[in-house]
Structure 1
């Protein structure tokens, strides 16, 4: 069954970056973490942990003060990824007041996103308004409309980014790579590997669209969680000069394969096999 991608829903703002947590995010809630107070006074916490399996997340409530929820997880090692690049995450979120305590956590990990409902109860100062807590290392990815230049190519081409000036490292990575750009690596057989973080997007909603000049990729989390602001849309491309094994071989002559798991899209571009020698010396 053919899939339909409604590209009219993807905003295009020339010279601007939608979110500093990802160069490929074009729409939706920004940031590696989101915390908001719900109507029943509990907290909703959304944390991006791309690459972490759904059953590999760990969390616990601070047993002493009952103010913080600590979470951690490790992504799986995939083909084409160096062992030293495998990420381990660790962080916390919780209460910034002295009048409440955490009474329970309902956590769910899916497609590289941890979502928690943190219940709390007032234990003192019932007339004072309490607050939620955003860790100081949560990043600045709530910035809107970063202005870089009039060159629109940077919205697609990872090579045109100045990482230090524009993009943020993931604040909860304690081991492995911290940047969220597509990782590019060429193996000994000439294959080109790269991966793209699309937290919250399931594998069925990630698409790879190669043409003569680029390998484009698209992802959208169509199943929006009830407390999320909206869906998130990711869009980008890698130029043929980056992934072709030789400038003389067309991009579409390569074997382009991809898979997706736990909010990470993995693409492998393999060179075509060498031409066969068709010279037949038949003797009469």
Structure 2
């Protein structure tokens, strides 16, 4: 059972996104990827790959030892998922210099998040400390364009490492049996970290990844709602539906089934 989420940490800023990589994120590190230099000069890399099973990620150091290439198999297909939405990922991270080489990789995939420690050594220009890495603009989601009269939000970004399937954080569909299915990306979150709060008008959820790893800046908190017009039958209250949900590999999946028809003769 999830413990109480401390919402007092979340600043209330009407009309703004906290992180443009995920419209539901309200607190914590931003961006699909985060890279930072550790005290021992190794690199810490955090990559959001929601939907990827813990054992389905692969990686290799490229031939010139300047970057790590990571890639996944297909996201797990579950009931209600559209085949065209099933994702595969591929991307790179590493060095932005020619003075270092990557000598080792420690990687762990959990709840839709890949975390890597990249060991490196200086091979030339030894007197200068190296702080260059790729990509150089990670973790900068959540910026805003400021106009003359109002703040205009940058649109939610597509996932840059998706090479097949949907690139957005939310998808919904109605199946032939009349059920509504929707999925929400909540990278780093497990089923024990989520509160689900449906009411007559909407399906609400609040989630916080309780496990904060050693090199993570902080936890992340997600808050969102799906309007009943998106997820239930017309004219039938949402709470009259059968609602089932689960979270796996950093993705919340919800199934909303209409009540059975009453075929009794009047």
TM-score if structure 1 supplies the norm length?
0.86
Q: Deviations over 1:218-252 (max 9, x none)?
A: 11011101101110000000111221212x21110
Q: Which ranges in structure 1 are unaligned for 5 or more consecutive residues?
A: 152-161, 280-284
Secondary structure of the residue that 2:104 maps to in structure 1? strand
Q: Is the 8 A contact 2:197 2:203 kept in 1?
A: yes
Which consecutive segments of 4 or more residues in structure 1 shift more than 4 A?
A: 138-141, 145-151
Contact 1:193 1:268 in 2 (8 A): yes
1:184 aligns with 2:172: yes
Query: Quick check: 2:103–2:120 contact (8 Å CA) kept in 1?
Result: yes
CA-atom RMSD in angstroms: 2.2
Between the aligned partners of 2:175 and 2:5, the Cα distance in structure 1 is 32
Indicate the residue corresponding to 1:216 in structure 2. Answer: 204
Question: Following the alignment from structure 2 to structure 1, what is the Cα–Cα distance between the partners of residues 5 and 47?
Answer: 27
Which residue in 2 is equivalent to 1:231? 219
Q: CA deviation at 1:267?
A: 0.4
Aligned to 2:185: 197
Q: Does structure 2 retain, via aligned residues, the 8 Å contact 1:16–1:147?
A: no
Q: 1:249 — aligned with what? A: 236
Secondary structure, aligned partner of 1:237: strand
Q: Secondary structure of the residue that 1:241 maps to in structure 2?
A: helix
Give the TM-score normalised by the residue count of structure 2.
Answer: 0.92
- Structure 2 Cα separation of the partners of residues 186 and 59 of structure 1: 36
**How many Å separate the matches in 1 of 2:265 and 2:6?**
47
Aligned length: 263
Question: Any unmatched runs of 5+ in structure 2?
Answer: none
CA contact (8 A) 1:21 1:141 kept: no
* Correspondence for 2:7: 7
CA separation in 2, counterparts of 1:16 and 1:147? 12
| Structure whose alpha-carbon radius of gyration is higher | 1
